[in-house]
Amino acid sequence: MLDGTKAELTERTALRINPAKTCQPIGAMYAALGIHGCMPHSHGSQGCCAYHRSHLTRHYKEPVMATTSSFTEGSAVFGGLANLTTALQNIFSIYNPDVVAIHTTCLSEVIGDDIPTIIKKARDEGKVPEGKVVIHTNTPSFVGSHVTGFSNMVTSTIKYLAEKTGKTTDRLNVIPGYLDPSDILEIKRLLGILGVSSILLPDTSGVLDTGLDGNYTMFPKGGTTVEDIKSMGDSFATIACGHFASHAAATQLENQCNVPAGFLELPIGLTGTDRFINAVRQYATIDIPEAIEEERARLIDLMSDLHQYLHGKTVAIAGDPDHVIAMTQFLVDLDMKPKYIVTGTPGQFFERRIAEILKDSGSNATVKQFGDLFEMHQWIKNDPVDLIIGNTYNKHIARVENIPLIRFGFPILDRGTHRLFPTVGYTGAKRLIDEMVNALLDKKDRECDEQWFELIQ
């Protein structure tokens, strides 16, 4: 079953086999969870909502709450107006969230439900209490990916809520991208060392990484508050990390409230983190603290110490485009050779940006946007690599071809601690190096002849 992939390559124009992505509503649901007191709402069938919740729960190992319009056959024929207005009334009366963030599904998109009109009708009928917020975004699953849905929800949140009063504050907006809570905490830690007051949107720390104290809280203390989202229009600048997940939201805020925006990649690895720190320095007009310089120096030292194990090693990378772009840059910094680079999210920018990163690296990589893991496996069968970097869906390739797998990105369904340790920043880069070197050395120890089974590597 695991080795059903054949080495013979066949051109496919429509069929995707084991795509390196999932559908838009999952990303929209995750983004909504990064708003304080928010109930994500899936405007579609119960099955869609159940799948999206379970997929997020399996990655974050935390309960994910969301509601649904519970479409039936009748809703599919006559539309979801009645379902959504009733749902809003029930949500506020039973759960009492501060915000309801509606995202659509395939079914409601095909029907063509006018969500803003339905929200207005519900509010006019008193089904949305005074002071409560309802926002929405369109997330048809047959377009884009979960990264697209994440971007759409963050952009819509800003469109609905961000305001400009005319008085610029001393706060910096950071749209961090599709990152785990541990990554959000690391970005906040770095900003704290830099002494910069910030607003992060979305902020899933304190929501999907909470401790166990014996009490269940439907709306944890984390998440970006509505007040902070509104005040993003008065911040002195915005830094958006990740072309696919964050840049659209920063552009919306810049156009809507005239907040200057800096467009970066995810702060993963040496170069990615350097660019993030430097952008904060420039926008906030500050000097880099010694503590940051020391963190960077420790990473440089580690890269130097372990260069002999990583130099020239070939790598296949698959996953979300922003993660893959940042990881490709990091591998080039490590003198490794990205060989196969795949994302399931469509967008020609991906291939152009990867080409720019690899231009002077000496790597002759095969790169594909809107690709799938089946084809990447075929490439590996014809010409293997030393390492695979990607989410859990790559484990079948790794097992069949006996190649070490570094689990990275979303989703990671077969491990439990990944969500607690960052991959961003200089600290995250050290962790990634540790995992890569250990995986390569473990394979060497397992397979080498006895005379080469050394105590010291």
397 found inside a domain: yes
Phi-psi region of 18 (alpha: psi -120 to 50; beta: other; left: phi over 0): left
| 272 plus 341 within the same structural domain | no
| Percent of the chain predicted with pLDDT > 70 | 100
Q: What is the pLDDT of residues 58-112, one digit of tens each?
A: 999 999 999 999 998 878 777 899 999 999 999 999 999 999 999 999 989 999 9
Residue 26 binned pLDDT confidence (cut-offs 50, 70, 90): very high
160 found inside a domain: no
Q: How many domains does the chain have?
A: 3
- 343 pLDDT higher than 90: yes
Q: Kindly provide the residue ranges of all beta strands, DSSP E only, lying in 63-211, ordered along the sequence.
A: 67-68, 99-104, 133-137, 171-175, 197-200
395-399 contact pairs (CB < 8 A, 24+): 396/2, 397/5, 397/373, 399/2
**CA distances to 69, 398, 399 from 449, in Å:** 61, 22, 21
**Once rounded to an integer, what is the mean pLDDT over residues 272-279?**
98
Q: Verify whether residue 106 is a known catalytic residue.
A: yes
53 found inside a domain: yes
- 1 pLDDT higher than 60: no
Helix or strand or coil: residue 201? coil
| 219 plus 277 within the same structural domain | yes
241 found inside a domain: yes
| 306 plus 447 within the same structural domain | yes
As a whole number of Å, the CA-based R_g of the chain is 23
- 406 pLDDT higher than 90: yes
- Tokens coding 268: 């993963």
Q: What is the pLDDT of residues 428-444, one digit of tens each?
A: 999 999 999 999 999 99
Largest CA distance in the chain: 80
| 310 plus 261 within the same structural domain | no
Query: Given 226, 260, 289, which residue is the final one in a domain?
Result: 289
161 found inside a domain: no
280 found inside a domain: yes
| 315 plus 387 within the same structural domain | yes
pLDDT score recorded for residue 10: 87
Average pLDDT score over the chain: 96
- 173 pLDDT higher than 70: yes
| 307 plus 429 within the same structural domain | yes
| 303 plus 426 within the same structural domain | yes
| 135 plus 187 within the same structural domain | no
Q: What is the pLDDT of residues 104-155, one digit of tens each?
A: 999 899 999 999 999 999 999 999 999 999 999 999 989 999 999 999 999 9
CA distance 287 to 280: 10
**Once rounded to an integer, what is the mean pLDDT over residues 203-222?**
94
| 313 plus 252 within the same structural domain | no
| 211 plus 113 within the same structural domain | no
| 301 plus 197 within the same structural domain | no
CATH number (domain holding residue 203): 3.40.50.1980
162 found inside a domain: no
139 found inside a domain: yes
Containing structural domain, residue 237: 171-289
| 338 plus 411 within the same structural domain | yes
Which residue of the set 38, 48, 99, 106 is catalytic?
Answer: 106
pTM: 0.96
